[in-house]
């Protein structure tokens, strides 16, 4: 039997389809410069236990996407509902990658090095997530390209709808 975990912060907000972020959820103090309107800190957390024989392990696991209020901030005079939807999509993208990680864990048979294998998979998912988040910001110009923002909103909504 093997077990491992990476837990979210105590005050983190668990992703739920019915719970949209509000500006009140962004509790960190914004930096003095006003070049960026808002920042969303979100990420993945997991825990698991493994059962197996003969060096082949299947996992019982939980993977969640979280928003971190104490690391997320905004400048009230620079934001609007479009920017809030942009920040929400960062959180939604984290949920998409939580689903991707769940799928990988559910389909994989692990060796006796299950702990190291899960850590490597988690690191790879986080690399992919980071690149995807960067691409989202680049293509939407941080929500300033309203047409691209609407396209991303529709795309992520479709992706989230596939697994619900």
- Measure Cα distances from 157 to 21, 28, 85, 92 in Å: 15, 27, 12, 8
How do the domains of the chain map onto residue ranges? 2-162
pLDDT tens track, the chain, 164 positions? 334 545 556 789 999 999 999 999 999 999 998 789 999 999 999 999 999 888 899 999 999 999 999 999 999 999 999 999 999 999 999 999 999 999 999 999 999 999 999 999 999 999 999 999 999 999 999 999 999 999 999 999 999 998 64
């Amino acid at each position: 039997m093997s077990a491992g975990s990476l837990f979210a912060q105590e005050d983190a907000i668990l992703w739920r389809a019915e719970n949209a972020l509000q500006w009140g959820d962004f509790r960190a103090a914004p930096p003095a410069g006003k070049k960026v309107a808002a920042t969303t800190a979100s990420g993945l957390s997991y825990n698991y236990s493994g059962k197996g024989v003969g060096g082949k392990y299947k996992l019982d696991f939980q993977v969640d996407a979280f928003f971190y209020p104490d690391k997320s901030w905004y400048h009230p005079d620079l934001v609007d509902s479009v920017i809030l939807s942009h920040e929400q999509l960062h959180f939604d993208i984290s949920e998409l990658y939580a689903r991707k990680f769940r799928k990988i864990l559910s389909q994989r048979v692990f060796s006796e090095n299950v702990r190291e294998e899960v850590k490597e998979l988690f690191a790879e998912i986080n690399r992919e997530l980071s690149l995807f988040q960067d691409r989202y910001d680049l293509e939407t110009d941080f929500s300033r390209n309203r047409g691209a923002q609407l396209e991303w909103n529709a795309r992520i909504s479709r992706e989230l709808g596939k697994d619900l």
